[in-house]
Amino acid sequence: MLRQQFPFCLMSVNITHIAIQALREECLSRECNRQQKVIPVVNSFYAATFLHLANVWRTQRKTISDSGFVLKELEVLAKKSPRRLLKTLELYLARVSKGQASLLGAQKCYGPEAPPFKDLTFTGESDLQSHSSEGVWLI
């Protein structure tokens, strides 16, 4: 099975942008008002958005060439349905705490409502092969 690498750093910068934009555009206002908190809501929203991205990346076998499209779809979803993302995170963390799923690991809970979370492989800079071009090293 071909395993695609997950561009963690690149995606985290983009998800930070999505979270800040969602806050600025008042997409998170309802949830912030409900909880009477801002920072915890934004933090949870960030984690929920990342969880959704990780799930899409793994289950749909996305690659770096898909990242622009994936991020655009993620931004639309995040701004349109922030509560749905937050609820998914809440349910996922509840499964993790009950031992029915592992954090960023394979899902142990089965059923129609259980999203198929799979293991992610993170790649560091030192794991990538370098290519030389006229004495300049590209990673």
pLDDT at 103: 58
Burial (CB count <10 Å: 0-12, 13-18, 19+), residue 88: middle
pTM value?
0.71
Model pLDDT for residues 1-54, shown as the tens digit of each residue: 455 677 888 899 999 999 999 999 999 999 999 999 999 999 999 999 999 999
Report the candidate in 84, 56, 81, 59 with the shortest Cα–Cα distance to residue 69. Answer: 56
pLDDT at 113: 47
Task: Report residue 80 CA to chain centroid gap.
Answer: 16
Q: Which helix (H) or strand (E) holds 131?
A: strand 131-133
pLDDT at 68: 92
Q: How confident is the model at residue 138 (pLDDT cuts 50, 70, 90)?
A: very low
Q: Give the domain ranges of the chain.
A: 8-138
